[in-house]
């Protein structure tokens, strides 16, 4: 397990070095204003796909790693992170945003306007 962790960490560091510098990823952190502690985070990965009727530009964003410390959940932290990343996507002209959700967070994404993707499969 330790070797797998090191590999993931190394690959994540390489990913962020590339994609933060070329602006194909936006990372966001939420802080406790009183003590500066990081209490939440999230990111969006920008990609191009073939343009289609539901995505005329072919630009899409994959919302990922949305996380709030347990003691801060239910206080709007996650929502603010998601809304910040959606606004970033809109400024870039991104027409399609998708994500994978845990059962516990699904209601939040639905409140924001996300809906289930029918017939989605993964290999």
76 Cβ contact partners less than 8 Å away, ≥ 6 residues apart: none
pLDDT in tens, 77-100: 999 999 999 999 999 999 999 999
pLDDT in tens, 10-55: 999 999 999 999 999 999 999 999 999 999 999 999 999 999 998 9
Q: How far apart are alpha carbons 107 and 89 in whole angstroms?
A: 21
Whole-structure pTM value:
0.90
Please report whether residue 51 resides in a domain.
yes
CATH code of residue 33: 3.40.630.30
Q: How far apart are alpha carbons 9 and 98 in whole angstroms?
A: 24
Please report whether residue 5 resides in a domain.
no
* 26, containing H or E segment: strand 25-31
């Amino acid at each position: 397990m330790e070797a797998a962790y090191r590999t993931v960490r190394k690959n994540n560091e390489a990913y962020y070095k590339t994609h933060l510098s070329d602006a194909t990823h936006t990372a966001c952190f939420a802080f406790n204003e009183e003590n500066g502690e990081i209490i939440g985070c999230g990111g969006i990965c920008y990609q191009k796909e073939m343009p289609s009727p539901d995505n005329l530009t072919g630009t899409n964003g994959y919302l990922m790693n949305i996380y709030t410390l347990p003691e801060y959940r239910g206080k709007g932290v996650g929502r603010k992170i998601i809304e910040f990343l959606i606004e970033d996507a809109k400024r870039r002209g991104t027409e399609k945003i998708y994500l994978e959700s845990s059962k516990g967070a699904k209601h939040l994404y639905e409140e924001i306007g996300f809906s289930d993707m029918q017939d989605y499969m993964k290999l």
